[in-house]
Amino acid sequence: MNTIMTSRAYEAARERARVLLATMTLTEKLGQLSQFGTSIYSDNEQTFDDHFTEGKVGSYLTIKGAQRTNGIQHDLLAATRLPIPALFADDVIHGYRTTFPTPLAQSCSWNPEVARRCSEIAAKEAYRAGLKWTFSPMVDIARDPRWGRIMEGYGEDTYLCSRFSEATVRGYQGEGETVGKDRIFACMKHFAAYGACIGGRDYNTADMSMQTLHDVYLPPFKAGVDAGAATVMSAFEDVNGVPATGNRYLLTDVLRGEMGFKGFVVSDAGAVVELIPHGFAEDEKDAVRLAFGAGCDMIMAGDPYNDRLPSLIEEGKISMEQVDASVLSVLTLKYLCGLMDEPYVDEDGEDCFFCDEHMDAARMAAHETAVLLENNGVLPLRPAAMRGKKIALVGQLAGAEGKSHLLGAWSCLCDPAHTVSIEEGLQNALGDACEIVTVRGCGVTCADTAEAHEKEAESIREAVLAASQCDVIVAVVGEEAGMSGEAYSRSDLTLTGHQGELIDALVATGKAVVLLVSAGRPLILTPYKDKVAALMLIWQPGSSAGSAISDLLTGAVSPSGHLTTTMPVCTGQVPIYYNHTNTGRPALGNWPFESKYRDCQIAPLYPFGYGLSYTSFSFEGIRLSADTMTADGEITVTLTVRNTGDTDGAEVVQLYIRDLVGSTVRPVKELKAFDKVFLAAGESREVTLRLPASELAFHDAAMNRIVEPGKFKLWVGECCTDERYEFGFEIV
């Protein structure tokens, strides 16, 4: 497929960049490889105006707004010898101002179009603020919900994450020849295996087999490269002993060599000088030698490249050719996005922020991202049935106080004032039909003082009193926005503060409790699963949270999200993921000496792929196009999906396989295709899923990527444990 990185426009941009490069001094070249700006760790904005005259600034991060970016651009261009504008970047992760559900939530839609659309709007708003580049998507596979950054990615599965990776890249960059108006460059991060930090502790070592690295963690990056991702960010952690930012094997051999990446690599914030505390570099100069030498083209953030590369070049430790190649890549992108021809952005363009179209898109995304886990029939709360009744809406996250938390971490320039709370959403949807009584109940967290605990106990008593006079209770619990994201690892995934007591007390009223869980990551919901009347994981749904969630609660829309991370029974089960290997002693329950826990089941609370709807579906006439294929062949699976209920809804058809015997052991299940099908009540549609043999390839013990002949099982189901429709096929 043609992408911006293979287009004629790209070649033309490169040609122009070459001409410019030939006129540049070494100082000016190194400036293009240096990024400055507001530290994400503080609000201290530093524009380094004293660097302008020599041309020592190539890019900025985290500068907010069209006026500000234009202003800095103007000062820079007025002062430099060569008029090379700065490339402005930011962490536009799930929206710029209009905020969408978190990426993990987006993945639960099992609809890559949702991610494409969210990224497309995020790009438009970011572009209007003067940005040309986002540090997104994060395509790190995450199998451990203790890791707070699990909320930034697309879950535990390689195949699903790869589809979201390419969709997001296309959303940001568009599918044209260049990255033009309202489009920005994507940056896939964090290369590589950042999600595999041991113990779920952020920044910690990733230590894994080369097979796991190549078969599980790298394919989403390859998918993004193939979709034309212009940039990649190197990760903080060490991978099998070599820090990713100084890892020549990863940044050069794999990324550029094997994957064919043609853009440039930016380091993560401070990751170059962190090669020193890693114990990999002696000092800053050594760190620059190792990082730049490995293939890290641009440094975020600061002067180490400006300061250290000249002597490294002089000493012959870094070649001028390598510097030129890096600068050429940066300049090419500056030409490709039109920055060299028009360095400023129209300051009147920001009126699209929070416009109806964007808020509606956020609402539609949130419809598809919530996952209904339990429902005894209490949901939906249809307006007609609720007439004259009373709903108790409970929890810190339910009312105005919850707005900022429903936006989630990494929500760029989000705005609680432009966020619909659950209370507002529910009032709009049901306020005419019934009375809604909002009570705080308790906070997500509680300070550890006797006074604070007593205050929460009193507040819970008040909530219970109010709730006991209502017909239905809707309780919203979970995490505050800042409890997931970077550097927020947790060792215990149970509900914090007094939230557990609150739920128990509400259940004890005997009223039906609809529990909504808003969190960045999977939490432990084991104690509540069977006690509540309905349980819905709403994640952090973004600016239109309240509108979308009330659409789901009232049945205006049927839930269609499915889990993309396994939900553990207890924190001790993690890391937990569905595509594990079988072991020689799988837990069959026959004897004690099996691979299991003695104090806990090994099955999760909810499996990967799981999610309920208000309607039901049947799969009919499932057939394989053949039961054998060659190593370069393909099988298709065709079936009719029917909505057998009386409500419109969407089903996610999931295709899993198992390679029964391999030269290295193979996972018990692997997702290889899926399709989300929207069907009106009673409607049916034929669906065809493709299974090319190349999807079954893996790396053998000698690291050859092979498609191995042999027997496979294949399942078509509604989640990874659904084995009602089992088939066999063989690669010959």
Residues annotated as catalytic are 268
| Nearer residue to ligand BGC within complex by CB, 17 or 142 | 142
What's the length of the chain? 732
Query: Nearest distance from residue 505's CB to ligand BGC, in Å?
Result: 40
The whole-angstrom separation of Cα 373 and Cα 368 is 14
Could you tell me how far CA 170 lies from the centroid of its own chain?
Answer: 15
| Nearer residue to ligand BGC within complex by CB, 269 or 515 | 269
Contact 611, 560 (CB under 8 A): yes
Strands 133-134 and 87-90: what pairing?
Answer: parallel
Query: Nearest distance from residue 245's CB to ligand BGC, in Å?
Result: 11
Query: Nearest distance from residue 412's CB to ligand BGC, in Å?
Result: 10
CA nearest neighbour of 41 among 306, 300, 304, 407: 300
Contacting residues for 88 by C-beta, under 8 A, at least 6 apart: 59, 60, 61, 63, 69, 73, 130, 131, 132, 133
| Nearer residue to ligand BGC within complex by CB, 135 or 280 | 135
| Nearer residue to ligand BGC within complex by CB, 403 or 490 | 490
Q: Which residues bind ligand BGC (CB under 6 A)?
A: 40, 61, 91, 135, 189, 268-269, 486
Contact 408, 99 (CB under 8 A): yes
| Nearer residue to ligand BGC within complex by CB, 486 or 501 | 486
Query: Nearest distance from residue 268's CB to ligand BGC, in Å?
Result: 5
- Residue 256: strand, helix, or coil: helix
Query: Nearest distance from residue 341's CB to ligand BGC, in Å?
Result: 27
Query: Nearest distance from residue 64's CB to ligand BGC, in Å?
Result: 13
Task: Establish how many alpha carbons lie within 13 A of residue 491's alpha carbon, considering only the half-sphere containing its beta carbon.
Answer: 0
Task: Establish how many alpha carbons lie within 13 A of residue 317's alpha carbon, considering only the half-sphere containing its beta carbon.
Answer: 16
| Nearer residue to ligand BGC within complex by CB, 41 or 597 | 41
Contacting residues for 419 by C-beta, under 8 A, at least 6 apart: 99, 403, 404, 406, 407, 542, 543, 544, 545, 546
| Nearer residue to ligand BGC within complex by CB, 33 or 269 | 269
| Nearer residue to ligand BGC within complex by CB, 89 or 639 | 89
The whole-angstrom separation of Cα 395 and Cα 661 is 51
User: How many angstroms separate the Cα of 487 from the Cα of each of 28, 42, 150, 263, 571?
Assistant: 35, 14, 11, 28, 18
Q: What is the Cα Rg of the chain in Å?
A: 26
Query: Nearest distance from residue 246's CB to ligand BGC, in Å?
Result: 16
Query: Nearest distance from residue 46's CB to ligand BGC, in Å?
Result: 14
- CA dihedral defined by 65, 541, 468, 472, rounded to 10 degrees? 130
The whole-angstrom separation of Cα 9 and Cα 332 is 10
Query: Nearest distance from residue 302's CB to ligand BGC, in Å?
Result: 13
Structure tokens at 82: 């060569």
Task: Establish how many alpha carbons lie within 13 A of residue 505's alpha carbon, considering only the half-sphere containing its beta carbon.
Answer: 22
The whole-angstrom separation of Cα 396 and Cα 443 is 5
Could you tell me how far CA 275 lies from the centroid of its own chain?
Answer: 26
Q: Sort 281 into a burial class: Cβ within 10 Å, 0-12 / 13-18 / 19+.
A: buried
| Nearer residue to ligand BGC within complex by CB, 190 or 498 | 190
